[in-house]
Amino acid sequence: MNENKQQQQQQQQQLKKRRKKNTTDTSVVDEKRGGVKTKGLKEISTSLILLEDQEKDGREEFAKAHQEERLQFEENHKKKTSAMLDCYSKLHEDYHEDVDRVDGARKRKARANVFAASNATAIALASADIEDSISGGNDRTSASDKVPATGPQRRLWVKHRSKDWWDQCNSPDFPDEEFKKAFRMGKDTFVLICNELSSVVAKENTLLRDAVPVRQRVAVCIWRLATGEPLRLVSKKFGLGISTCHKLVLEVCSAIRNVLMPKYLRWPDDETVNRIKDDFESISGISNVVGSLYTTHMPITAPKASVVAYFNRRHTERNQKSSYSITVQGVVDPRGVFTDVCIGYPGSMPDDHVLEKSTLFQRANAGFYKDAWIVGGSGYPLMDWVLVPYTQQHLTWTQHAFNEKIGEVQGIAKEAFTRLKRRWGCLQKRTEVKLQDLPVVLGACCVLHNICEMRNEDLDSSLKYEFFDDEMVPEISLRSPNAMKARDSIAHNLLHHNHAGTSFLS
């Protein structure tokens, strides 16, 4: 029994030892596993820190390289800019040197020509003295008393052109009727224009040639405007070069615009306006009318720029060929004298748009034409200061009568433009003048027209011109309800006071 107890105790002790050993081994294994796990986390965090440092270093290196590249680019740009400026400066200096050399050569050539001319004169005088000394006699004393001519000598290369036609026209014996047929005005009116422009267009003689006289300068311009003949025929008539004639036409037209337009084409003063109102009222029975408004088209050649803007579709359809034009808007008094003009807007622009862009419209908006009417056609809108006819289809007797009277007033402006184109033949066909110079030429024609009308210069009956312009009703034909009421009142008074005609009843 004791032995069995001892054996059981020994077995129990061995079992305890085994359990203790297993527990120890398990703790050791757990400790080893925890250390390995902690060590792995530390390695991962270290790797991440290294990657962040490497990325930061990379960004710094990239920024540094970008900064260096930018500085290098700016330095290269400065070098190129400096080199270009140096190159331009050198080209500028070379250009001025070339210009100075050319000017110097021209001056030396001119001095040489003058010197040669003076030498030729001196040689001629010397040869004359030698001949006189050889011949002897009393002529020696008279030859020595003569004063040598030392005036300017003409260049030998100047082409001689015949001026017989102009010399004949400029003669006091030339018939006034023939002069008026050539220049569309009498001699007295021509002399008046020459005297007005003398201080502006006169030129002085030079060593190379004599200046063209004032009368001939003005005659070249007026004959060119009157006939519309090409410059080669003007050159033959007046004995001048083609380029000289073209230059003279533009110079004289510019002088007419600057000197004569402020005097002969301007809005009338208050006293004249009252007289104009009375004249228009005696014609139409409508009071407070200060002008008759009309817009016409002047043919031009197709321009190089903005050709569509100058294309006149209505003239093209009527004439069956491409037509280009610019507009001339004018206001006239009862005599047909222009008191306001607006020149140069493209031919594709309708009449109401031309009116809105004109100085006339700007002055009207400022109240300049208050309590006054300017009579226009159906191409203009009805406004507080523009009186136009009725345009609807079915008109009453009162409206018919009003339209007749309006037509009489507007006919004055249309007749003025007809005489303008009859008198100045250059307006009847496409001209050789450039588009930018055309307003100056057209303005000069209007001024000369006024001078002729004021001086009662009659037109030759053989000068005929078929005048025709298209009118388009504006998109907005009524701009003022007050004007509509005023027009209705005027129409009623015309019929009530028996001022209106009755031709529409026949």
pLDDT per residue rounded down to tens, the chain (506 residues): 556 667 777 777 777 777 666 655 555 445 555 555 566 787 788 888 888 888 888 788 888 887 888 888 788 878 877 776 676 566 556 555 665 676 676 777 767 665 555 555 554 444 444 344 434 444 433 333 444 444 455 454 556 778 899 999 999 999 999 999 999 999 999 999 999 999 999 998 887 778 999 999 999 999 999 999 999 999 999 999 999 999 999 999 999 999 999 999 999 999 999 999 999 999 999 999 999 999 999 999 988 888 999 998 887 887 778 889 999 999 999 999 999 999 999 999 999 999 999 999 999 999 898 889 999 999 999 999 999 999 888 899 999 999 999 999 999 999 999 999 999 999 988 877 889 999 999 999 999 999 999 999 998 888 877 777 767 778 777 888 899 999 999 999 887 766 555 444 33
From 263, 289, 307, the end of a domain falls on 263
Domain co-membership, 275 together with 234: no
Domain co-membership, 174 together with 302: no
- Is residue 59 assigned to a domain? no
Give the C-alpha separation, 149 to 157, whole Å. 21
CA distances from 68 to 63, 64, 65, 77, 82 (A): 9, 6, 5, 14, 21
Domain co-membership, 243 together with 272: no
Half-sphere exposure (CA, 13 Å, Cβ side) for 289?
Answer: 29
Domain co-membership, 279 together with 245: no
Assign 307 to helix, strand or coil.
Answer: coil
Give the C-alpha separation, 117 to 120, whole Å. 5
Asked if residue 500 lies in contact with residue 283, where contact means CB atoms within 8 angstroms, the answer is: no
Domain co-membership, 227 together with 372: no
DSSP string, 442-492: HHHHHHHHHHHHHTT-PPPTT------------SS-B--HHHHHHHHHHHH
The number of beta carbons lying within 10 Å of the beta carbon of residue 361 is 18
- Is residue 245 assigned to a domain? yes
Q: What is the pTM of this model?
A: 0.68
Give the C-alpha separation, 71 to 67, whole Å. 6
- Is residue 198 assigned to a domain? yes
Asked if residue 245 lies in contact with residue 234, where contact means CB atoms within 8 angstroms, the answer is: yes
- Is residue 458 assigned to a domain? no
Domain co-membership, 253 together with 338: no
From 263, 289, 314, the end of a domain falls on 263
Q: What token pair was written down for 173?
A: 């014996």
The residues, any chain, with a CB within 8 Å of residue 237's CB and separated by 6 or more, are 165, 166, 223
Domain co-membership, 381 together with 347: yes
For residue 288, the enclosing domain spans 267-428+465-501
- Is residue 127 assigned to a domain? no
Domain co-membership, 234 together with 349: no
Domain co-membership, 287 together with 324: yes
- Is residue 137 assigned to a domain? no
Give the C-alpha separation, 29 to 111, whole Å. 123
Domain co-membership, 259 together with 274: no
Domain co-membership, 257 together with 312: no
Domain co-membership, 177 together with 231: yes
- Is residue 317 assigned to a domain? yes
Count how many domains the chain has: 2
